[in-house]
Amino acid sequence: MSTIRLGDEAPNFTAQTTEGEINFHKWLGDHWGILFSHPADYTPVCTTELGTVAKYKVEFDKRNVKVVALSVDGLESHKGWVKDINETQNTAVNFPIIADEDRNVATLYDMIHPNADNKLTVRSVFVIGSDKKVKLTITYPASTGRNFDELLRVIDSLQLTAYHKVATPANWNNGDDCVIVPAVSNEEIPNLFPKGHTEVKPYLRLTPQPNLN
């Protein structure tokens, strides 16, 4: 069983999906990605989750993020379930769902936790950068649906901090002030952060979000 840690390369795989066969790395291309698993088709919490992701596609597109779901059910089951999702959630599923009946991908990404269920996948989330490196992992129990607003918030932070020498403080949202990382000296601040900064403590320096006009 794999143990995937932050900074590891996301394992590549080829799989059948509701939108045809994909090679994961080629499918991602230069996009960021979210790979998330759900325990089974025709289950209530998963139905609401996949409907929510479909409605959020425009937000993921803005962030150059591709989304792909997975369960250990088969392709025909997925296709039938998509009709239910579209009907009950008033949407149209617009991303691929991996059919992982042989559990190859679930095993590769350690999505089956025997103490929770020895057959079905837990609610795993992997956020993957355009460099194919794992940037975030979250695991939920089957009983708890995911908060996709939080995933958007995290992606905003990950993309901001990947390209600017800042970190995001507690409860940060897009547009809030950021923390200047300790590696940046006070002498470097004017060039790196022309909007100015506030020094709360020598180790706690705040600056307006640098990638906003």
DSSP symbol at 11: P
User: Which helix or strand (DSSP H or E) is residue 21 part of?
Assistant: strand 20-23
Q: Quick check: is 178 catalytic?
A: no
Q: Identify the CA nearest to 207 among candidates 169, 171, 156.
A: 169
**46, 105, 160, 179: which is the annotated catalytic residue?**
46
Q: Where are the alpha helices (DSSP H) in the chain?
A: 24-28, 44-55, 57-62, 75-89, 104-108, 148-163, 189-192
In contact, 28 and 135? CB cutoff 8 Å: no
Q: Which tokens hold the place of 54?
A: 């479909």
Active site residue ranges: 46
